[in-house]
Amino acid sequence: MAQTCWPYFDPEFENLSVKINPPRVSVDNTSCRHCTVVKVDSVNKPGILLEVVQILSDLDFTITKAYISSDGGWFMDVFHVTDQQGKKITDGRTIDYIEKALGPKGQTAEWMKNCAGKRVGVHSVGNHTTIELVGRDRPGLLSEIFAVLADLQFNVAAGEVWTHNRRIACVFYVNDSSTNHEVHDMNRLSIMEEQLKHILRGCEEDDKVARTSFSTGFTHIDRRLHQMLFAERDYEGGGVTSEVDRASSFKPKIAVDRCEEKGYSVVSVQCKDRAKLMFDIVCTLTDMQYVVFHANIWSNSPYASQEYFIRHVDGCTLEAEGEKERVVKCLEAAIHRRVSEGLSLEVCAKDRVGLLSEVTRILRENGLSVRRAVISTVGEQAVNVFYVRDAYGNPVDTETIEALRREIGHSMMLNVKKDPGSAKAPQAEAEAETEASSGWSKASFFFGNLLEKLLA
C-alpha cells in the first residue's frame, strides 16, 4: 500500500502575514471638524470587518460615515465616529485602547481573550458560569426564569435579554451566592438546567421549542444573541406588531441587486439610525457566510443608508430570488432585535440574590412586558435596564409609571426614560421619512470613486 505524504504547515503560518505587515491604525482629530476619523489598514483576513466594527461598537461610538474596501489581500477602513453626545473622541486612554485593540497587539489570541469586550465564556466576567437560554417568549417568562435562579441561590452578575417575533434569547453570567465564584457542582447545574428548560418549554411537549446550555466559548455576547435567534428562525413570520409600532417605526427598506461591473451583489439598507446598527448588519451577513468586499455607510440623523458589496464565501453572488428574499428577511430581523422604542426603566440597588426576581415580578404584576434587558453589576451595586411595553405592545401609560415608582422607589433607585422618537406623530414621521429618502440618493455611491473616498 502506497504511503501518502502530506506537507507540513506551521501553526504560526497564518500569523506570519500579520507579523510581516502589522495593522496600521490612525486616530485623527484634525481632518474632520465634527468627528474623529479612525483609519485601519491591514492584511485582509476572514471576519476582520466584524472585529473592527465590534470594537468600535463596544466603545459606544456612533458611526456617522464609513468607507470599506477589502478587495484582494489588503483591508482599508475609514470610520467617522463620535461619542454618545456627538463629540469627538479626545480621551487619551480611549484613543490608546483603539490603537492597541485594532493594532498588532489586538491580533493576538491573548489580547482578544483579555480585552474588555463583551464576550460569552466561563471566564468572560470574572469567575462566572455562562448560561444560554432560548425559546418561545410569553408574558411573565423572564420573571419565572429569575425566580428559579434565585430559589437555587444563583446570583446573576451580568447578562442580556433579547426578544423578537415571539422568541426570547438570554445570556447570563451567574455565580454561587455563597462563594461569588463559578459553580462547579454538576448536580446543581443539572437541576438548574432542567428547571429552566421546563419553564421555557411551558405547555409545549416538544423539547425542541426550548434550549438551555452552558457556554465555554469566547463569542461576543451580542453576536451570540444574534446567532441564537437566527438558529430559532425568528426571521420567519411577521410576528405581533401593534398600531403604535407601525406608526412610530420606519420599516427598513432593504434591496439586493447585482453590480455587473465587478461581479458583486449589492445589499442596500435604508432605515432609522440607531446605535450599533452597522454591527448588527455586518454580524448577520458574516454569520450567513457572506463576505463584505466594499461598503459605504452614511447617516443623516435620524436615518441611515448603508450599502454592502458582497459575495458568498464560495465566491458566488446572490442569484436565486429565494436566497435574496432570505437575506432581506434576516437583515430585517437583525435590525429589529435591538430596537426598543417606548420606555426604559433603569433600576439601581445593592446587588443581592433575588433582586432581579423581585423587579421582574413587579413589572409582570403591573402588566408590563420586557422587550429587552441589560443586566450589570458595578462593585456591590446592581444596574439593570429594562425596555418595556404593556402586554399588547403599546407604550406604558402614566398611571402605571407612577405605580412602579411607588412600589419600587422605596427600596431601589428607579430612573424612567422615554425614547424621544417613539412620541413622534405619524405625520411628522412620514415627513421625516420623505426628507430622508431625498437625502439617500445623495449618499449612494459608485464603485469607481470608492478609492478616492478612502484616500481623502
**Per-residue model confidence (pLDDT) at position 242:** 45
The span from the CA of 170 to the CA of 371, in Å, is: 12
Taking 50 as the pLDDT cut, the residues of the chain under it are 1-9, 13, 108-113, 121-124, 239-248, 420-456
In DSSP terms, which residues pair with 68 in a beta bridge?
77, 295
The span from the CA of 142 to the CA of 137, in Å, is: 9
The span from the CA of 272 to the CA of 253, in Å, is: 10
Q: Does residue 302 have a cis bond before it (omega within 30 degrees)?
A: yes
SS3 label, residue 372? strand
DSSP H helices in 6-129: 13-20, 48-58, 92-102, 109-114
Q: Quick one: residue 235, left, alpha or beta (phi over 0 = left, psi -120 to 50 = alpha)?
A: alpha
The span from the CA of 161 to the CA of 389, in Å, is: 15
**Per-residue model confidence (pLDDT) at position 298:** 94
State the number of CA atoms in the 13 A half-sphere of 101 facing the CB: 23
The span from the CA of 121 to the CA of 432, in Å, is: 42
In DSSP terms, which residues pair with 203 in a beta bridge?
none
State the angle between helix axes of 141-151 and 355-365 in degrees (0 to 180), rounded to the nearest 10: 150
**Per-residue model confidence (pLDDT) at position 179:** 84
How is the chain split among helix, strand and coil, in percent rounded to 5? 35, 30, 30
Q: How many CB atoms lie within 10 A of CB 416?
A: 14
Contact 80, 52 (CB under 8 A): no
State the number of CA atoms in the 13 A half-sphere of 371 facing the CB: 25
SS3 label, residue 394? coil
Q: Cα separations (Å) of 247 from 241, 326, 361?
A: 10, 25, 30
Closest CA to 47 of 257, 246, 313: 313
Amino acid at 365: E
**Per-residue model confidence (pLDDT) at position 122:** 39
Cα 431 to chain centroid, rounded: 29
**Per-residue model confidence (pLDDT) at position 4:** 41
**Per-residue model confidence (pLDDT) at position 356:** 95
The span from the CA of 273 to the CA of 338, in Å, is: 12
SS3 label, residue 452? helix
Contact 295, 67 (CB under 8 A): yes
State the number of CA atoms in the 13 A half-sphere of 311 facing the CB: 14
Q: Is the dihedral of CA 271, 277, 281, 284 positive or negative?
A: negative
The span from the CA of 372 to the CA of 380, in Å, is: 23
Quote the cell numbers at residue 8.
507540513
